[in-house]
Structure 1
Amino acid sequence: MTALGFLYPGHFAEDDYPRIEQLLGSDIRVDLVHTDIGEDTHRLDALRELGSPRRLAAGVEDLRLAGAEAVVWACTSGSFVHGWEGAHEQVRALARTAGMPASSTSFAFVHAVRELGARRVAVAATYPDDVVGLFAEFLRAAGVDVVSVSGAGAATAAEVCGWGAEEVLAFAHRGDHAEADVVLLPDTALHTAAHVTALEGALAKPVLTANQVTVWEALRLVDRRVNAPELGTLFTKEPIVQV
């Protein structure tokens, strides 16, 4: 049994994780610990506090006791708002505190884009424009070519956690770009685990969603590969060999 640990802020789309665990169809256990969000807002100062060391450290002991082999901070905006170097320091501090490999959803997107061998991406983010812009900057710092960026202007996570399949699909359509190899939906408060294959079918290209890539990143940290077609191209594609 491989045990994966996740620190998830608040209570929004956390039911994606047991769904993903079921879809993996393997000896994978997903352990989720909820962190305190403070104020539910996509304001920059609040997002930086959301991923502060003290908030992340508070949930680590429960994951250790559960036997987690790796931990991922399951929040995109609470990591990339610190910038490329700041996000690295965030996961380094988390790894030191947890005593196990660590990462975040922001880095999961970068690694997943590389896994797919994608050169150009379109970003469809639920956040206000200033927050969306920081995510694009983060991706560009990683060498990712961001060809288009669109936001929904949602001020809180609560505004989007109730979106169903139709809303998610319409939003992804609006955020797609003809030159993009892949579309990114970077909000872990957005329910997407049940919609990945429908999204990819409708857009005719790979789609990376926050909770999907977060679990994939945890598997990457423990060097596990699981073929799970219902979780999209990311979970079926052979890894790109870096030369």
Structure 2
Amino acid sequence: MPHTAGILYPGHSAEDDYPVLENLLGEDVRLPLVHTLMREDAHRVDALLDVGSEQVLAEGARALGAVDSVIWACTSGSFVFGQAGAREQVEKLQAVTGVPTSSTSFAFVHAAARLGLRRVAVAATYPADVAERFVEFLQGYDLEVVRLSSRGIVTAAEVGTLGREAVLEFAAANDDERAEAVLMPDTALHTAAWLEELEQRVGKPVLTANQVSAWEALRLAGADRPRAGLGTLFADQNGPVTSG
């Protein structure tokens, strides 16, 4: 039987990353996706708090059907609540799903732990104030952000239009020699088809939002094994993951 990891995804921008990931992951994986309500497409704190609200996520979860795990695939719609709020968000969502549940923000923390990372660069498409909240979230889990770059894009729709070369260049231009990896935190950013190219261009691990979301969901579903073509994170499946 395939492992089925449910994806809750806000709106429409880079949701087509998930069929790409499913194809790369192999025949033992299914990534059914439900679009959750996005009343306003804006990387702005008040709008993000609504996108990640308990009622919105519960409605999406009830539409998923039978799955082995669930991921709330929206980084900004989780870290904007802060550490305690993001944890409460997942706990309430899991009470609805009845299966192991997480969010992209925690997926980044757990992926960094799996790879033993301590110092990272963040290449964020968000406006600066939202990007800084992601840094604060990471710092709460003892990750040092040695460089933060903010592209200042307000809408997920615009982020979703960035193509291959723009994404590769954005990662490379915002690396730092002190960083052990580059993190690209927006699930509205297409990256799934270019994970290996991203690492080749940067010369170190690159963690992207849709990549870590799929990894976290599969880890929780019990499908945690090495897989090729998806970057260092999926290739290295032997390290510990601490709870967060």
Decide: shared fold, TM above 0.5.
Answer: yes
Shift in Å at residue 109 of structure 1? 0.3
Which residue is 2:101 aligned to? 102
The RMSD of aligned alpha carbons is 1.2
User: Does structure 1 retain, via aligned residues, the 8 Å contact 2:113–2:241?
Assistant: no
Amino acid corresponding to residue 221 of structure 1 in structure 2: L
Shift in Å at residue 17 of structure 1? 0.3
Distance 1:157 1:242 in 2: 30
SS of the equivalent of 2:192 reads coil
123-132 or 228-237, which deviates more: 228-237
Does 2:58 match 1:57?
yes
Distance 1:136 1:169 in 2: 21
Amino acid corresponding to residue 13 of structure 2 in structure 1: F
User: Does structure 1 retain, via aligned residues, the 8 Å contact 2:183–2:207?
Assistant: yes
Which residue is 1:183 aligned to? 182
Distance 2:143 2:92 in 1: 25
SS of the equivalent of 1:7 reads strand
Stretches of structure 2 that go unaligned for 5 or more consecutive residues are none
Which residue is 1:237 aligned to? 236
102-111 or 21-30, which deviates more: 21-30
Which residue is 2:114 aligned to? 115
User: Does structure 2 retain, via aligned residues, the 8 Å contact 1:128–1:153?
Assistant: yes
SS of the equivalent of 2:33 reads strand
Which residue is 1:29 aligned to? 30
SS of the equivalent of 2:21 reads helix
Q: TM-score, normalised by structure 1?
A: 0.96
Q: 1:49 to 1:119 in 2, by over 3 A?
A: same
Distance 1:26 1:141 in 2: 37
Q: TM-score, normalised by structure 2?
A: 0.96
SS of the equivalent of 2:23 reads helix
SS of the equivalent of 1:231 reads coil
User: Does structure 2 retain, via aligned residues, the 8 Å contact 1:80–1:138?
Assistant: yes
Shift in Å at residue 241 of structure 1? 4.1
Matches within 5 A, 1:24-173: 24-63=25-64, 65=65, 67-173=66-172
User: Does structure 2 retain, via aligned residues, the 8 Å contact 1:26–1:226?
Assistant: no
SS of the equivalent of 1:197 reads helix
Amino acid corresponding to residue 82 of structure 2 in structure 1: G
User: Does structure 1 retain, via aligned residues, the 8 Å contact 2:4–2:221?
Assistant: no
User: Does structure 2 retain, via aligned residues, the 8 Å contact 1:126–1:187?
Assistant: yes
Distance 2:230 2:100 in 1: 23
SS of the equivalent of 1:180 reads coil
Which residue is 2:13 aligned to? 12
Deviations 1:94-129 (A, max 9, x none): 000111111000000000011111111100000000
Which residue is 1:204 aligned to? 203
Deviations 1:55-84 (A, max 9, x none): 001111221x2x211110000000000000
Distance 1:158 1:51 in 2: 17
Q: 1:220 to 1:238 in 2, by over 3 A?
A: closer
Shift in Å at residue 147 of structure 1? 0.9
User: Does structure 1 retain, via aligned residues, the 8 Å contact 2:160–2:190?
Assistant: yes
Shift in Å at residue 228 of structure 1? 2.3
Shift in Å at residue 239 of structure 1? 2.0
User: Does structure 1 retain, via aligned residues, the 8 Å contact 2:22–2:31?
Assistant: yes
SS of the equivalent of 1:123 reads strand
Amino acid corresponding to residue 18 of structure 1 in structure 2: P
SS of the equivalent of 2:146 reads strand
Percentage of pairs with the same residue: 55
User: Does structure 2 retain, via aligned residues, the 8 Å contact 1:24–1:226?
Assistant: no
Shift in Å at residue 227 of structure 1? 2.5
